[in-house]
Structure 1
Amino acid sequence: MHVQVLCDSASDLNHDVLERQSVRSLPLKVILNGEEYEDGIGMAPSDVYSRMRNGQAPKTAQVSPQAFRDMFTHYAEKGQPFIYFALSSELSGTYQTAKMVEQEVKEAYENAQFDVIDTKAASLGYGLVVWRASELAKEGGSYKDILELGQYHAAHMEHIFTVDDLEYLQRGGRVSRTAAFVGGLLKIKPLLHMEEGKLIPLEKIRGSKKVLKRMLEVMDERGKDLKNQRMAISHGDDQERAEKLAEMIKEKYGTEEIHIDFVGATIGAHAGPGTIALFFLNDTYK
């Protein structure tokens, strides 16, 4: 029996990719003006960003224990092995909730074969991990090989990103209020990355035009086999700049596959409109 790959909506994989790869995704929740929506289902990312530009401040909520219970039990009852790759535990309590439910379901179904994996990744960095694991699953790969491949990609996935307005990160406690105010005055654009699943400031760049160039330089320093690996760029309702970055990468490295999509509401609610994020591997899987 093939292995089923599961994820949550913070992977930012769109419906077409999920369907094509036979991945099941559990939606996180977005809360706006007291109304709750399913991330990517009840409200499109573009609508969330539009509301944010108009001053609304969305909140997010993790996948419920019951949603995990229903999904995990569904496959355990069928005797189908599955792996749930989760959004970084440093950014959401979703992973911890899934681990709690994992224990419950394994006690009820002793022969169930499944794992809950903390990818320490987010947005399309997380999505690329899920995508590659699901490809191997569709090819009929073994449970052990799919688990190993997914964990390797998660451990070697780079996240390099910038935000258009530090205010959104300040609201989420990612930068101080003073830093956000000064950054706005000086037109400073922060460059951030992920370390062990946490968002970490990397450096500050004055002027938005220099940011994309610097992102390429960081990728050049850290990436490996940049021509042949699948990369991804996610954006906070800024398709034009995302495509510009993709063009720069293709021109420099001849990269054949760069997937571009929205930063979904789960991450976008904290990063804000104008976010640009680049994802690539710093090593290639043997």
Structure 2
Amino acid sequence: MPSVAIVTDSSSSLAVADAEREQIRVVPLKVVLGADTYDEGSPHVTADMIAEALATFVPVSTSRPTPDDFLSVYEELAAGGADAIVSVHLSAKMSGTCDSARLAADRSPIPVFVVDSRQVGLGVGFAAGRAAAARDAGGDVDDVVAAAERAGESTTVLLYVDTLEYLRRGGRVGSAAALIGSALAVKPILTLADGKVAPLERVRTTARALGRLEALAVAAVEACEDGYDVGVQHLANRAVAEQVAGHLAEQLGRDSVPVDEVGAAIGAHVGPGMVSVTVTPR
């Protein structure tokens, strides 16, 4: 067990194999589908189920892990030999997950440093990965915290959504913006600004919106001076996501750009058809 343990939440989209390799513990968010509550990542609730539920107006919501959920992980890591924990989570302006982690930190047997990544999805995962890399390079807890914070601050997230309706349902955008977008048949490109979903551009057609998504992603990569991590995510839109990833790989001179489906907790808010690109400088 490393002396500094890394914890994140399931919104980070970390694959099980990647989390195990980098020795990062993942605490699941809760997904409420109709009358049933599941841990994100459970085989009993998938992104496809979320997409179908949203399309058929089955109530879908999410909730943070409880402080006790975090505390049990912190206690287990302490018992395993960790001297300190860096806990990296999705934006506090979009979830109470950081609050739960901080409440658990107050009861933890070892110091816990909670980092608000101000990101969602792969942006959280890349920040946790940077924390693990700093630890593995011999950094102390301050170095690990700083690495996670820098990653979160420098990450660019670009999202294409078919409609703003699902973000409106979850309270992530206002009703007026969602209605105007629908009336004008606008295909919005969104980003994260100050830890919240914010409009970036409005494009009239899906093809143009995806083209702008790719161009903006390439521009974000070109601004990275010392390398970068990039990934494409989607909800019930793999063919388009793979097309975007293929175009990006060609333009960036890479063999490939990884593509994966977002977890249920994020999918519940963005809705079917979403495609996103995340770029984090190294």
Counterpart of 2:130 (choices 129, 132, 148) is 132
TM-score (norm 2): 0.90
Q: CA deviation at 1:181?
A: 3.4
Residue 164 (str. 1) matches residue 162 (str. 2): yes
Q: CA deviation at 1:137?
A: 3.6
* 3-state DSSP of counterpart to 1:43: coil
Change (3 A) 1:77 1:20: closer
Match of 2:78 in 1: 76
Counterpart of 2:99 (choices 96, 101, 105) is 96
- Count of aligned positions: 278
- Whether the aligned pair in 1 keeps the contact of 2:156 and 2:191 (CA below 8 Å) is yes
Match of 1:258 in 2: 257
Q: CA deviation at 1:139?
A: 5.2
Task: Give aligned-pair identity as a percent.
Answer: 29
CA distance, structure 2, for counterparts of residue 122 and residue 205 of structure 1: 23
CA RMSD of aligned residues (A): 2.1
Counterpart of 2:119 (choices 118, 121, 125) is 121
Match of 1:13 in 2: 14
CA distance, structure 2, for counterparts of residue 182 and residue 154 of structure 1: 31
- Whether the aligned pair in 2 keeps the contact of 1:227 and 1:255 (CA below 8 Å) is no
Equivalent residues in 2 for 1:194-213, closer than 5 Å: 194-213=192-211
User: What is the one-letter code of the residue matched to 1:28?
Assistant: L
Change (3 A) 1:167 1:122: same
CA distance, structure 2, for counterparts of residue 218 and residue 267 of structure 1: 22
User: What is the one-letter code of the residue matched to 2:235?
Assistant: G
The superposition leaves residues 4-46 of structure 1 with CA deviations (integer Å, 9 ceiling, x where unpaired) of: 2111111112223222322211111111111001112141222
TM-score (norm 1): 0.89
Match of 1:189 in 2: 187
Q: CA deviation at 1:130?
A: 1.6
Q: CA deviation at 1:113?
A: 3.6
CA distance, structure 1, for counterparts of residue 257 and residue 219 of structure 2: 19
- Whether the aligned pair in 2 keeps the contact of 1:82 and 1:113 (CA below 8 Å) is yes
Match of 1:274 in 2: 273
- Whether the aligned pair in 2 keeps the contact of 1:231 and 1:257 (CA below 8 Å) is no
Change (3 A) 1:44 1:159: same
Structure 1 residue runs without a partner (length 5+) = none
The superposition leaves residues 168-211 of structure 1 with CA deviations (integer Å, 9 ceiling, x where unpaired) of: 11212233434323423432111111112111111211111011
Range that drifts further, 145-154 or 256-265 = 256-265
